Amino acid sequence: LPELDAVRRDPLWLASAVFSTDTLVSAGLGGRAAQLYADLLPYAGTDAVVGPGIAWLGPVDHSLGRLAACAGDVAAARRHLRGAMERTGVMGRCPAYVRSELALADLIG
């Protein structure tokens, strides 16, 4: 992974950051997860999309929750994952809702 500070902030940055979450969490890179968490935090409560409505990636809070868990902040992880579930809950048990629900279940064991 390139240094996160070196990644250009262009219109695809948010989507790239959301996709990077899976890599950092899967690799257990807590320090980098904490750095990306800080970068994504201003986007809490919003959704990530690719281009002008090309693809909806879901709530940024889902990524924030997974990053917080990887970095060891369980309270923040719970808060973000519940926020993602609340945001997607209006659509029923859609895949994005279930994804956050499963991440929360993994977190609380």
Which pLDDT tens digit goes with each residue over 58-80?
A: 999 999 999 999 999 999 999 99
Q: Count CB neighbours of 18 within 10 A.
A: 24
- The single residue listed with the structure tokens 């690719």 is 50
For the purposes of burial, counting CB atoms within 10 Å of the CB of 86, is it exposed (0-12), middle (13-18) or buried (19 or more)?
middle
Res. 48: pLDDT tops 90? yes
Res. 6: pLDDT tops 90? no
φ, ψ of residue 50 in degrees (nearest 5): -105, 125
Instruction: Say if residues 24 and 43 touch (Cβ distance below 8 Å).
Output: no
- Please state, in angstroms and rounded to a whole number, the distance separating the CA atoms of residues 51 and 59: 15
Q: What is the mean pLDDT of residues 52-58?
A: 89
pLDDT of residue 32: 95
**Coarse DSSP helix, strand, coil percentages of the chain, rounded to the nearest 5 percent:** 70, 10, 25
Q: What is the mean pLDDT of residues 10-30?
A: 92
In this prediction the pTM is 0.91
Q: Kindly give, in sequence order, each residue whose CB lies less than 8 Å from that of residue 75, ignoring residues fewer than 6 positions away.
A: none
Average pLDDT of the chain?
91
Q: Count CB neighbours of 45 within 10 A.
A: 14
Query: Hey, what are 77's tokens?
Result: 């992880």
